[in-house]
Structure 1
Amino acid sequence: MGRVFRSLDDPEFNRFFSEFRFTAYRLESLQRYDVSYEKAEFDLFLAGRQRGEFPGIAQWISETVKPARGAGKLLHRVHVVEEPLSDYVRFECAWAYTHTVPAGEDVRLIPVSSGSWPEGLPHYDYWLFDSSILITMHYQEDGLFEAAEIVKDPEKIVEANYWRDMAVSQSIPFADFYEKRNGIF
């Protein structure tokens, strides 16, 4: 077991997002993330408001996405999304990805029917930095963050690289997903 982070605000955890040299990749598997900094915006979205970008996403863009892209680094993620989309995924698409993608984050989706899963991909989240630093993300069933753990096992790191390549090859760019739905979430 490697270093465990109990907070997404942990400076040591966040250091990985500024110090990676080439690539930062995220596999997202949940259909809902219960993140406190999104609560007010998520409630507005559910109420039918068309507000758009919110402070947490603006900060992600200014502190992570733009500096990474400006330095020629690749920041990308693949989110496996079940259709019909959950309210949270619709919110994430409409209020987050529509802002992070134009800022330079490569967001890709693997749409699957409800209850199915892409063969060969894990059903949990992780970050992979520079193909060599693996951090598994642990959540409660309701999407509440529990911990992030650095994994040192070389076999697990190689496996995460394989899963990344598999997920990217099975995914579609967010822009294509958005266009197919005429921007309606």
Structure 2
Amino acid sequence: MLLDGEAWQAKFRNFQTEAWRLETLPAYNVPQEAEQIREFLTGEHIDPHAYSNEYTDDLKRVRREGKSKGRVHIVTRPLSEYLRFEFMYYLPHSWAGEDIRIMDVTDRPNPLAGVQDFWMFDKKEVVLMNYEADGTQINREVYEGDVSPYVEYQRIALVESVPFEEYVKGLDL
């Protein structure tokens, strides 16, 4: 079953304990971000201490409700321009309550090679994120099988990654 619109948004309102994402791509082609990326590439950056939007407000709501939202992004160096752009937002998102972790596989085998992007809700439901090679989203698809392999992918990703703020210490972003 494909997921879009209100049904997709409901997943983030209705999860009971945890919404978690695995990100595997070096860049995502998101048309809504095009102008922000252009500005970033010309040297404009957000002030992470002053940054707030609907997403950070929602992260704070999730925390107040005793729930968690997190992700692991698998990366290799040098970081793509898109990752450098995305990392600019990871700091205020982390401060707002998202558990963001980085798994750098530059100098080691990727234990999750071949696993595609996905969201997992409450360790009970998986939504596969389908992308073209350039990072353009094709669709979101509710996974109909046994979710236990995805629970294991999450476990591996968490063990093999480090907190975002630890990862970026000393990096010239």
TM beyond 0.5: yes
Q: CA deviation at 1:123?
A: 3.5
1:99 counterpart residue number: 92
Aligned alpha-carbon RMSD (Å): 1.7
Q: Which has the higher helix share?
A: 1
TM-score (norm 1): 0.86
1:110 maps to 2:103: yes
Q: 1:174 aligns with which of 164, 170, 173?
A: 164
1:135 maps to 2:123: no
**2:157 aligns to what SS in structure 1?**
helix
Matches of 1:124 and 1:52, distance apart in 2 = 32
Indicate the larger mover: 32-41 or 165-174.
32-41
TM-score (norm 2): 0.92
Identity of aligned residues (%): 28
- Which runs of 5 or more residues in structure 2 are unaligned? none
Count the aligned residue pairs.
170
Matches of 1:164 and 1:87, distance apart in 2 = 26
Q: CA deviation at 1:74?
A: 1.1
5 Å matches for 1:20-39?
A: 20-39=15-34
Q: CA deviation at 1:172?
A: 0.3
Q: Is the 8 A contact 2:119 2:126 kept in 1?
A: yes
Q: Is the 8 A contact 1:65 1:75 kept in 2?
A: yes
- Which runs of 5 or more residues in structure 1 are unaligned? none
Q: CA deviation at 1:121?
A: 4.6
Q: Is the 8 A contact 1:121 1:163 kept in 2?
A: no
Matches of 1:82 and 1:178, distance apart in 2 = 13
